[in-house]
Copies of this chain bind each other. A is one copy, B any other.
Amino acid sequence: MSKKLDKSAGWITFDPELKIVDCTVRDGGLINAHKFEDGFFKKIYDTCVAGGIDYMEVGYKADRKLFTGDDNGPWKFSSEEDIRREVGENDTKLKLCAMADAGRTDYHNDILPRDESVLDLIRVATYIHQLPAALEIVKDAKDKGYEVALNLMAVSTVPDYELDNGLDVVSHCSEVDFLYVVDSFGSLYYEQVDDLITRYKGTGKTLGIHAHNNQQLAYANTIHAAINGVKLLDTTMMGMGRGAGNCATELMVGFLKNPKFDLRPILKFVQETMHPMSQKLDWGYSIPYMITGHYNEHPRSAIALRASDRKDDYLGFFDEIASP
């Protein structure tokens, strides 16, 4: 091997601190309002256990006063009862997490003390302007005994001085265990990811990355982050996720060298369950998502286009987005 590769011989062995967080149910559920077929959750759970995945995100902890159970499947709320029905006491090495959106979760009531829950990690998602509200959820979750992650969304639209202020606040919040670089709009390429990693490392926190595939860069940016010290790697089965989707779990498991990971059960699940779903639901890279990525915009306009009868009108969509 070359000198360059010799330096990273840790790769040819492996970094045991690298963890995969499978977010299929949570992020993929944004496509189908978390209304998965019966049996889906148990299958993906069993697959994560068999595949050596570190964390599985079971869904959101959404406030039932804001969202109805008619409009949304159970993993919008991820009640302890629903989780336990699927996983029992979760007597496995797989850790479980759920996402709490700042301003959209009744965390006092819906996040139980950890010793009453099978959840291990609470991930708090926030825009920069909600940071104080998010940190209240963070502190509550830490007090209750959980590992806690902070996912700062849409960072590609945050001015530098504001981001630096936010990171300073986070660095002084001892309750944050993990801080996530989140490319909500799939607009970042690796030099920008590098820059964010460097800044985020200044907080002293263990870092995670959550990438979107608008420009076919979700996997590339995730391995780039892993090689540069980020430890929690968000993935989804077959890249299922809102819009252009995410870094595919099967790509990441194929890349990482830790022998605890096993690609075979993941491919089996992808073939038998995800591929048929992908024929019915639209996710993954397509040119409208590339365009919103280029323009650093939320993908909602592209999602609307893809759901319309002009889903492949790339030119018309480009003209709309490119108009000042």
Interface residues of A (CB under 8 A from B): 1-2, 4-5, 8, 11, 160, 189-192, 194-195, 198-199, 213, 215-221, 223-224, 227, 248, 250-251, 254-255, 263-264, 267-268, 270-271, 275, 287, 290-291, 294, 312-315, 318-319
Contact = CB atoms under 8 A, between A and B. Distances in A.
Nearest to A220: B220
Given A251-B290, A263-B318, A290-B250, A2 B271 contact: no
A223 B318 contact: no
A34 B105 CA distance: 57
A267 B2 contact: no
A275 B1 CA distance: 41
24 contacts: A2-B160, A2-B198, A4-B194, A4-B195, A8-B191, A189-B223, A190-B223, A190-B224, A191-B227, A215-B251, A216-B218, A216-B248, A216-B251, A219-B220, A220-B220, A250-B287, A254-B290, A264-B315, A267-B314, A267-B318, A271-B287, A271-B312, A271-B313, A271-B315
Residue of A248, A254, A312, A314 contacting most chain B CB atoms (<10 Å): A314
A92 B112 CA distance: 69
Contacts of A267: 287, 314-315, 318
Contacts of A213: 216
A166 to B, nearest CB: 15
A95 B199 CA distance: 43
Given A2-B198, A4-B194, A267-B287, 8 more contacts: A190-B190, A191-B227, A216-B218, A264-B318, A267-B314, A267-B315, A270-B314, A271-B315
A216 B252 CA distance: 11
Given A195-B2, A270-B314, A271-B315, A217 B215 contact: no
Nearest to A284: B285
Contacts of A8: 191
Contacts of A290: 250-251, 254
| 5 pairs of A and B residues whose beta carbons are closest in the complex | A220-B220, A4-B195, A271-B314, A2-B195, A267-B314
Contact of A219 (B215, B224, B318): B215
A195 B199 CA distance: 27
Contact of A287 (B4, B190, B270, B315): B270
Contacts of A217: 219-220
Contacts of A314: 267, 270-271, 275
Contacts of A287: 250, 267, 270-271
Contacts of A268: 315
A2 B275 CA distance: 41
Contact of A275 (B221, B275, B312): B312
